[in-house]
């Protein structure tokens, strides 16, 4: 399973958003990987995005999708690790809206394994 988070970074905000991805997002992905919650992750940049397309795609690969209860448990662990609760996490995400616009995410299932 793959998720692709589609992000449109606002003009003049790419370096700031990359700082967030490098410091916070990557640290959380590495922690999640160490816990066996995900297999791999990538940050992709579109070279020539068309109007309405993201310029950053955040790919995360999972062995399988967790149950809702397990996803909540993992979220609680990550929030504690970052010294925040769900409300603070939502506020931090809202603050990042100055840098980027979330264009949604897509869930993919791999059809042919090599």
Which residue segments constitute the domains of the chain, with CATH numbers given?
2-108 (3.30.70.100)
| CA–CA separation, 6 and 101 (whole Å) | 9
Q: Which residue has the higher pLDDT, 90 or 2?
A: 2
Tens of pLDDT along 7-27?
999 999 999 999 999 999 999
Radius of gyration from C-alpha coordinates of the chain: 15
Question: Which among 103, 91, 100, 94 is positioned nearest to 18, based on CA atoms?
Answer: 100
Q: What is the mean pLDDT of the chain?
A: 91
Whole-model pTM: value is 0.84
Give the pLDDT band of residue 83 (cuts 50, 70, 90).
confident
Q: Specify the DSSP element, H or E, that contains 61.
A: strand 56-61
Give the pLDDT band of residue 114 (cuts 50, 70, 90).
confident
Quick one: CA dihedral 54, 47, 38, 3, positive or negative? positive
């Amino acid at each position: 399973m793959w998720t692709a988070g589609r992000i449109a970074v606002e003009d003049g905000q790419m370096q700031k958003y990359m700082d967030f991805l490098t410091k916070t997002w990557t640290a959380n992905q590495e922690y999640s990987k160490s816990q066996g919650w995900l297999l791999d992750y990538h940050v992709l940049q579109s070279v020539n995005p068309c109007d309405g397309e993201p310029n950053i795609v955040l790919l995360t690969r999972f062995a399988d999708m967790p149950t809702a209860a397990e996803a909540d448990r993992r979220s609680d662990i990550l929030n504690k690790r970052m010294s925040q609760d769900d409300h603070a996490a939502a506020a931090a995400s809202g603050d990042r809206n100055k840098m980027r616009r979330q264009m949604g995410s897509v869930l993919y299932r791999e059809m042919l394994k090599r």
